[in-house]
C-alpha cells in the first residue's frame, strides 16, 4: 500500500535496485502464505503470479539475493522467506512509535499485522493532554513532551506520523532530531528531511484518485466502443443508429 518514494538513490549501496527492494515485500507476502500452507517449493511462475509480478522480473530480483532456485524443482519456500526477511531487515525486532493517536493512529495501533512482521509498537504519542495515560490497543498514550525521551529509551528508528497535515513537519523534525531515520507519513503533506532519512508516504486518497482516472478511461473506452458498435449493429439490422432510419442504404 505504500505509495511514496524513499529519499534514496535508485540503487542501494549493496547493489540491490530500489525497485527490487519495493517488490521484496510482495514476494514475502506470497511466500508466507505458501509457508502457512506447508508448501515446500514453488516455481518462479507460480510465485510471480501469486505476487502479481512478471516471472522474468522475479528471477532477476532473486538473482540479486543470490537465489537461483533449482531447475525442475523451483525455490525452497522456507529458505526464500528467510533470505528475503534477512534482506529486508525483518529478522530483527523494530520498535516503532506512532505519533497522532486519532482515528487513524488508533487503527494502526490496533492493527495486529505489524507484530507478526517484526514491528513492535513501542509507544503511542499524542499532543492532546487529555489523551495522556489512556490506553489504546493496550498501550498508554504518552504526551508529545516525552517524545525525545521515548525515542531514546526505546532505541526507536522508525516513526509513523498520523497527525493533521499542519503538525506533520514539526513532528517529523522532532523525530529526526531525536534519532529517527525512517518515517512512514500518513499526513497529506510533503515532508522535508535531511539526507540519510527515509520517508515513505501512504495516501489512500491518491490511490483512489488513480483508480478514478482508470475508471473514467474505461468508461470513455466503453462509450467509444458502444458508439462504434451501434452503426454496425444497425447496419446488420438494416437500420440507422436511431433504430428506424437506415444508416446505410441497402445496395
The answer to whether 104 is a known ligand-binding residue is yes
The answer to whether 101 is a known ligand-binding residue is yes
* Choice between 128 and 222, CB closer to ligand NAD: 128
Considering only residues 116-135, where is the footprint of ligand NAD by CB under 6 A? 125-128
Under the phi-then-psi rule, with left for phi > 0, alpha for psi from -120 to 50, and beta for the rest, what region is 198? beta
**How many C-beta atoms lie closer than 10 Å to residue 63's C-beta?**
11
Query: Contact 205/174 with Cβ under 8 angstroms?
Result: no
Query: Contact 146/125 with Cβ under 8 angstroms?
Result: yes
Stretch binding ligand NAD (CB under 6 A), from 4-12, 108-116, 199-207, 238-246:
199-207
In angstroms, the Cα distances linking 98 to 106, 121, 134, 197, 225 are: 9, 7, 15, 17, 49
The H or E element that residue 105 is part of is helix 103-110
Write the interaction track for ligand NAD spanning residues 140-179; mark x where CB under 6 A is met and - where it is not.
----x-----------------xxxx-x--xx--------
The answer to whether 74 is a known ligand-binding residue is no
The least distance separating ligand NAD from the CB of residue 25, rounded to whole angstroms, comes to 18
Residue nearest to ligand NAD (CB): 102
Residues in binding site for NAD(+): 100-105
Q: Summarize the annotated binding site as residue ranges.
A: 100-105
Where does this chain bind ligand NAD (CB under 6 A)?
99-105, 125-128, 144, 162-165, 167, 170-171, 186-188, 202-204
Amino acid at each position: 500500500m505504500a505509495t511514496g518514494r524513499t529519499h534514496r538513490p535508485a540503487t542501494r549501496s549493496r547493489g540491490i535496485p530500489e525497485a527490487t527492494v519495493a517488490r521484496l515485500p510482495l514476494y514475502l507476502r506470497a511466500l508466507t502464505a505458501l509457508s502457512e500452507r506447508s508448501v515446500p517449493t514453488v516455481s518462479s511462475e507460480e510465485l510471480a503470479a501469486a505476487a502479481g509480478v512478471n516471472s522474468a522480473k522475479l528471477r532477476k530480483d532473486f538473482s540479486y539475493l543470490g537465489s537461483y532456485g533449482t531447475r525442475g524443482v523451483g525455490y525452497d519456500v522456507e529458505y526464500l522467506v528467510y533470505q528475503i526477511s534477512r534482506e529486508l531487515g525483518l529478522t530483527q525486532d523494530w520498535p516503532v512509535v506512532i505519533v497522532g493517536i486519532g482515528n487513524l493512529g488508533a487503527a494502526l495501533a490496533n492493527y495486529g499485522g505489524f507484530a507478526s512482521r517484526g514491528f513492535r509498537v513501542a509507544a503511542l504519542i499524542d499532543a492532546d493532554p487529555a489523551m495522556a495515560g489512556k490506553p489504546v490497543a493496550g498501550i498508554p498514550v504518552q504526551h508529545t513532551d516525552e517524545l525525545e525521551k521515548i525515542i531514546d529509551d526505546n532505541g526507536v528508528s522508525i516513526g509513523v506520523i498520523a497527525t493533521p497535515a499542519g503538525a506533520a513537519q514539526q513532528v517529523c523534525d522532532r523525530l529526526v532530531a531525536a534519532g529517527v531515520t525512517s518515517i512512514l507519513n500518513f499526513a497529506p503533506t510533503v515532508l522535508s528531511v535531511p539526507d540519510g532519512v527515509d520517508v515513505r508516504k501512504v495516501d489512500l486518497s491518491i490511490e483512489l484518485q488513480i483508480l478514478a482516472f482508470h475508471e473514467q478511461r474505461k468508461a470513455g473506452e466503453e462509450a467509444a466502443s458502444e458508439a462504434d458498435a451501434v452503426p454496425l449493429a444497425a447496419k446488420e439490422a438494416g437500420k440507422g443508429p436511431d433504430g428506424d432510419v437506415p444508416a446505410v442504404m441497402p445496395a
